[in-house]
Structures are given as C-alpha cells and as structure tokens.
C-alpha cells in the first residue's frame, strides 16, 4: 500500500496494523515529550482545497509529533483559487520533494487522481474527498470503538477487530464521506452496520452495500446497538427538499434527549455515541447526548492524531509501503523502542 485513498480496498490485516500502530502512537501522546524522530527530514504537505481546520490541525499535529516538516497549502487565497489546476499544484509539490500529500478536496475522487495520474510520486492520504470517502475518520472511529469493545470484553485491543459489534450510523448518508468509509471498514473489521436515514438521504444503490438500512431510528435502537454514530446534517439540505424542516428531521432522526433516555430504558448501558464533528447541537444530536458519558466525541478527536500518526508513519517508513527502505524491525515496534535520548 502506497497511499491511503479509501477504506474499501483496505484489508483486515492492514486495517488492524494501522490501529495497532495507532495504539503505540497514542502512548507517545501520553509522554512528557510528545515527539518521535521517525519522519525527521521528511516533508508532509497538507493540501486543502476545502476548509477544515479540525482535520488539518489533526494531521499537522500528527506529522509534527513524528518530526516531519509540515507545509500547509490552503487553496483559499492561493494560486489554486486563481485557476491553477490540480495537476500544476501537484507538480509544484513534486518539485519541492514532498514525501506525503494529505489532500482534502471538494471533488470526489481527487485523491485518486493525484495518486494515479503520475503527476506526483508522493504518498497520498485522502483527508476527505467530496461525498466519497474520509478513511482516516473511519479509522479513528474504528479505533475508538475497538478500545470500547475490547474494554467490555476485558481484553487487550491490540490485534483485535470489531467482530460482533452492532453499529448504527444515522443521518445524511447520501452526502457523507464518513458514512461510506465507515461502512467498508466496519464490515472488514467484522462489525454489523445499520444505516438509519430519511429515504431522501440514502443513495440509490445503497441496497448493494454490506449493511442493513432502516428509516426508523427508534426501532434500530430497540433492536440493540453497541455504538451509534450521528452524522452531521448540512443546513442547506433543507432548501433541496430532502426533508420538510429541521424540526421534523430532529424528531425522527436526531439523537435527542428522549432517545438518550431510551438507551437506559432499553438496558443498553454500554452503548456509546459517536459524532465526527462539528456537531449541530439540537439538530442531529442534543446537548445532553453530546455531553453525556456515552459520548466519545473528544476521544475521537484525540484518537484522530494517533491514527494519523500511524498512517503517516506506515506509509512513509513502515511496512505498508513495501517499496520503502526496510528498517529491519517491525514497523509497529519502532516508535516506542527509540530511546528518548535520541530525540
């Protein structure tokens, strides 16, 4: 694997290796000196054609903790907004010897184009493309769920998957890259996924996906879920008649206080609530739900840095990149075995 473009073609083995490596990286984040020399002298470019401060700073923190040099290239106010093509931008970054390009783009498939076009030799990491995929978000969600699932099982999360876990993903599936990446990855890791959405916000063709589909959030909760992920609803969807009003949406498909109470009434004491952020409090999730002990929203943000460190590390120097020089040691062991004196 040279790039991380999608979770659809990610094998169980590679997915678990990324999650295991992220566990090692998380340990670094708990040290006093939160830094490894692993990517010293390597250049990581954050190429953002669409605003996303949260994702960008998460990748930036990840790259810096690995001692990489980081260049943030925002399309807003740059030559890109003056009509420079993706091809020219890519070739510029290539000329500057970028080792990895983290790309966020409003167009589905733009990372694929960057990786496969021959314009650039760098590793490409998809940081969210249009309504296609957001693989590192799915990986950090899986990481968060795996920790929870392993803790319930009383076992170590390393090498574990999500076999048997029941996950519901609710909201605007049609426009959600997070939902797509999660469906493929969770399936690969053995979880049972149910999508819950108004019929207008499910893509034609969803019946071919490896998951269940429901229009009824209460029924899905009643059938028992171990994790519920609420997707952000863009307010502008209202103008396109996807649903009649935000209030109606909220009543039928939002995770409100009533549904939070229902989890207790149903005896689902270990069910967690995920949200990729940023949240629309009062629309798809109530404040009480977002701030409840079940909410993993902040853990997801924290885990995002670990997962992105693992991805950068494995693509740039680890054994996911088989063409890279080998270090003679298993990739997952390197970060923690480096003595801090070497820093």
Partner 1 sequence: MTIEFQTTGTRAAGGSYLIRGAAVLGAERTDLLLQGGRIAAVGTGLDSAGATVVDADGLLALPGMVDLHTHLREPGREDAETVETGTRAAALGGFTAVHAMANSSPVADTAGVVEQVFSLGREAGWVDVRPVGAVTVGLAGERLAELGAMADSRARVRMFSDDGICVSDPVLMRRALEYIKAFDGVIAQHAQEPRLTEGAQMNEGKVSAVLGLAGWPAVAEESIIARDVLLAQHVGSRLHVCHVSTAGSVDILRWAKARGVNVTAEVTPHHLWLTEDLVRSYDPVYKVNPPLRSDEDVRALREALADGTIDVVATDHAPHPSEAKDCEWAQAAMGMTGLETALSVVQHTMIETGMIGWADFARVTSHAPARIGQLPDQGRPLQAGQPANLVLVDPAARWTVQPETMASKGRNSPFRGRELPGAVVATFFRGHPTVLDGELHSPYRDPGVAPARFGSVGTAGAAGTAGAAGGQYGGQ
Binding site for partner 1 (CB under 8 A): 8, 85-87, 105-110, 112-113, 116-117, 129-133, 177, 180, 203-206, 208-209
CA distances from 211 to 134, 140, 198, 265 (A): 18, 20, 16, 26
If 0-12 CB within 10 Å is exposed, 13-18 middle and 19+ buried, where does residue 245 land?
Answer: exposed
Tell me the closest approach of the beta carbon of residue 128 to partner 1, in angstroms.
11
Tell me the closest approach of the beta carbon of residue 209 to partner 1, in angstroms.
7
Query: Which is closer to partner 1, CB of 31 or CB of 116?
Result: 116
Query: Which is closer to partner 1, CB of 67 or CB of 108?
Result: 108
Tell me the closest approach of the beta carbon of residue 328 to partner 1, in angstroms.
36
Tell me the closest approach of the beta carbon of residue 143 to partner 1, in angstroms.
23
Query: Which is closer to partner 1, CB of 85 or CB of 155?
Result: 85
Tell me the closest approach of the beta carbon of residue 323 to partner 1, in angstroms.
22
Q: Please, are residues 174 and 131 in contact by the beta-carbon 8 Å criterion? A: yes
Query: Which is closer to partner 1, CB of 83 or CB of 328?
Result: 83
Query: Which is closer to partner 1, CB of 87 or CB of 302?
Result: 87
Q: What whole-number distance in Å separates Cα of residue 130 and Cα of residue 96?
A: 27
Q: What whole-number distance in Å separates Cα of residue 271 and Cα of residue 254?
A: 16
Tell me the closest approach of the beta carbon of residue 294 to partner 1, in angstroms.
30
Query: Which is closer to partner 1, CB of 21 or CB of 55?
Result: 55
Dihedral, CA of residue 174, residue 175, residue 178 and residue 183, to nearest 10: 20
Compute CA 229 distance to the chain's CA centroid, rounded to the nearest angstrom: 12
- The neighbouring-strand residues paired with 285 are 255, 281
Query: Which is closer to partner 1, CB of 107 or CB of 288?
Result: 107
Tell me the closest approach of the beta carbon of residue 322 to partner 1, in angstroms.
22
For residue 301, which of 62, 105, 71, 64 has the smallest C-alpha distance?
Answer: 62
Tell me the closest approach of the beta carbon of residue 316 to partner 1, in angstroms.
24
Query: Which is closer to partner 1, CB of 110 or CB of 274?
Result: 110
């Amino acid at each position: 694997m040279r790039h991380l473009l999608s979770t659809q073609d990610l094998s169980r083995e590679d997915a678990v290796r990324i999650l295991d490596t992220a566990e090692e990286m998380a340990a670094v984040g708990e040290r006093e000196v939160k830094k490894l020399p692993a990517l010293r002298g390597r250049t990581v470019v954050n190429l953002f054609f669409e605003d996303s401060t949260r994702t960008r700073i998460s990748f930036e923190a990840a790259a810096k903790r690995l001692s990489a040099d980081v260049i943030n290239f925002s399309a807003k106010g740059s030559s890109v907004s003056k009509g420079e093509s993706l091809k020219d931008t890519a070739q510029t970054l290539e000329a500057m010897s970028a080792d990895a390009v983290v790309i966020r783009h409003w167009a589905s498939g733009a990372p694929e184009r960057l990786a496969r076009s021959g314009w650039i030799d760098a590793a490409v990491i998809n940081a969210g493309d249009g309504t296609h995929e957001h693989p590192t978000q799915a990986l950090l969600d899986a990481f968060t769920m795996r920790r929870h699932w392993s803790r319930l099982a009383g076992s170590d999360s390393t090498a574990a998957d999500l076999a048997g876990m029941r996950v519901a993903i609710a909201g605007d599936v049609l426009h959600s890259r997070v939902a797509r990446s999660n469906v493929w990855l969770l399936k690969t890791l053995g979880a049972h996924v149910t999508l819950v959405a108004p019929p207008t916000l499910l893509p034609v063709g969803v019946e071919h996906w490896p998951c269940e589909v429901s229009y009824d959030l209460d029924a899905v909760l009643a059938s028992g879920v171990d994790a519920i992920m609420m997707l952000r609803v863009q307010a502008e969807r209202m103008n396109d008649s996807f649903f009649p009003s935000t209030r109606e949406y909220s009543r039928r498909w939002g995770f409100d206080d009533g549904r939070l109470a229902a989890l207790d009434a149903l005896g689902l004491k270990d069910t967690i609530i995920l949200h990729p952020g940023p949240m629309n409090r009062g629309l798809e999730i109530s404040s009480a739900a977002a701030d409840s002990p079940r909410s993993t929203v902040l853990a997801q943000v924290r885990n995002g840095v670990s997962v992105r460190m693992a991805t950068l590390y494995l693509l740039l120097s680890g054994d996911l990149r088989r063409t890279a020089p080998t270090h003679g040691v298993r990739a997952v062991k390197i970060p923690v075995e480096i003595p801090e004196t070497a820093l």
